Chains A and B, each alone.
Chain A
Amino acid sequence: MLDDFFLRAIIAGICVALIAGPLGCFVIWRRLSYFGDTLSHASLLGVAVAILLETNFTFSIFVVSGAVSLFLIYLRVKTSLPSDALLGLLAHSVLAVGIVVLGFMTWVRIDLLSLLFGDILAVSVTDIWLIFFGGILVLLTLAAIWRPLFADTVSPDLAEAEGMRPKLVRIIFTLMLALVISVSIKIVGVLLITGLLIIPAAAARNLASGPIQMAFISMITGSIAVVCGLFSSLTWDTSSGPSIVVTALVLFILTLLPLNRIRSVLGNYSERLSNRGIKQ
């Protein structure tokens, strides 16, 4: 039952979930959900560029969304438009440019549905290596900049004053986000990438009592969602992206259950059992 393509998708998916977990936490903490959307809109242009230059999809999507995110940082400094207006402006203009460029390339037929919702059949061995090394690079970088990035999330002024160089860290974080989005496009698709970033992190928030703990729970939740989602995608022949996101949603709903009460009831029960054991 485990075909090669499926194994590749599972490996790639877990790698993506492991890097999306901690980054998703920062996306939630820093209120960047729409930023993720903007970057994923930009990926269509990345695909067009990849076809035009005959390069690797993942690589060109990273370059394009990285450029878009740096442009956004520049616009934030240069204009006084609020962030949400800038994000809307960029997201839709880049999407439109992407579609227009694709339209000019009349010789190209691309499967828009697989781009939008993910296509596990499309994951190649090259992609796995890209995702694997990209993922290791992202996690190591994140570990290195965790402290300043976290301080900047709590208070940018405080981080700057206490010498944490938040501006540099912000740029690195933004580029990492672009990298994650570019490597996860084949698994989850353009439309649902933000879901893979946010839903596991949101579920983790319901369980965690500290920031690092939340990042790890988010990694685990994301991995479970990817594995279960991909299996259900194979079983019922549904698109991989929606299947993964629906699984993540189910996990999120489970975390809303009154866990403390369940835990205390179970605790009481096991206590009673052990007491009985002592009496006997």
Chain B
Amino acid sequence: MLDNTLVELIDAGIKRDSRWLVRGVSFNVDKGQIVTLIGPNGSGKSTTAQMLLGVLKPDEGIVKKRPKTVISYLPQKLSIDWTLPIRVEHFMKMTGKVSNEDVRSALVSTGVEHLFGADLRILSGGEFQRVMIARAIARKPDLIVLDEPVQGVDFKGMLELYELINRLRDELSCGVVLISHDLHIVMASSDNVICLNGHVCCSGTPKLVSESEEYLALFGRQVAPGLALYEHKHDHTHGTDGSLIDDNEKSSSVAG
């Protein structure tokens, strides 16, 4: 394990009830590197992330972490119970001492500084996601693991957040693990893309993945026009998704 390597997986796998959720996964995350995990539902993306974090112990293989690595984790789902009176401020300081200035500047960087004293349960999906990202940043981590960080965030916001993650990697020179089912947007910012479906289907730099026959076999060719269409919309609406939603509403009202 090199000095620059934050975490390394060697042939790691997780088994549940004699079924392998994911197996034979090998890759490493270095400082200043963005690694993107993609794959269909149930392909073991989140399981791989949890193995990397140490939440799950591998049933096979090895997971090596650099000692004294500060980790921030943004889980895919997090629900706050009504019985828990918790404000954004408390949430930001939940797993470690963080100064108010750091909390504020993290909230500023995700564009939700006005939510500092807000009740966590009244936030919208997109706002909550931005607060979660801000919490991950405020810890000044060596390694950030983001499980679908842009869910519930609109298209413009998504581009901003990817830009922010990019900038963070440069500023903190931290390693980033990004889980996504959206290959197209992720491709632009990641150093290494790992396509999972129970095992590592293929991996490499973004361009290589989209050219890979294995990837096309997994998602089918019909997905490719969908992704292209997404890009097309972007060109015409200059980064807002308003017209995309309108189109859907029109077509559904015609159908109904």
Contacts and interface: CB of A to CB of B under 8 A. Distances in A.
B94 A29 contact: no
A255 to B, nearest CB: 13
B53 interface: yes
Interface string A198-218: 000000010011110110000
A33 B55 CA distance: 27
Contact of A162 (B50, B78, B83, B95): B95
B81 interface: yes
Given A29-B81, A161-B53, A161-B145, A211 B90 contact: yes
B125 interface: no
Interface in A115-159: 147-148, 150-151, 153-155, 157-159
B75 A158 contact: yes
Contacts of B90: 210-211
A21 to B, nearest CB: 15
Interface in A133-191: 147-148, 150-151, 153-155, 157-164
A147 B78 CA distance: 18
B71 A153 contact: no
Interface residues of B, number: 24
A187 B94 CA distance: 35
B78 A163 contact: no
Given A160-B53, A161-B73, A154 B85 contact: no
B254 interface: no
Given A161-B71, A162-B73, A213-B85, 17 more contacts: A29-B83, A29-B84, A147-B95, A154-B78, A154-B80, A154-B84, A154-B94, A157-B53, A157-B75, A158-B78, A158-B95, A160-B54, A161-B145, A162-B139, A164-B95, A209-B87, A211-B86
Interface of B: 50, 53-55, 71-73, 75, 78, 80-81, 83-87, 90-91, 94-96, 119, 139, 145
Nearest to A150: B94
Contact of B55 (A29, A151, A161): A161
Contacts of B94: 147, 150-151, 154
Interface residues of A, number: 25
Contacts of B85: 205, 208-211, 213-214
Q: Which of A161, A209, A211 is packed against the most chain B CB atoms within 10 Å? A: A161
B87 A151 contact: no
Contacts of A29: 81, 83-84
A160 B95 contact: no
Q: Which 10 A-B pairs have the closest CB atoms?
A: A161-B73, A161-B53, A162-B95, A160-B55, A208-B85, A28-B83, A151-B95, A151-B94, A157-B55, A29-B84
Contacts of A159: 95
Nearest to A148: B95
A72 to B, nearest CB: 21
A226 B75 CA distance: 42
B21 to A, nearest CB: 15
A54 B4 CA distance: 63
A25 to B, nearest CB: 8
Contacts of A208: 85
Contacts of A162: 71-73, 95-96, 139
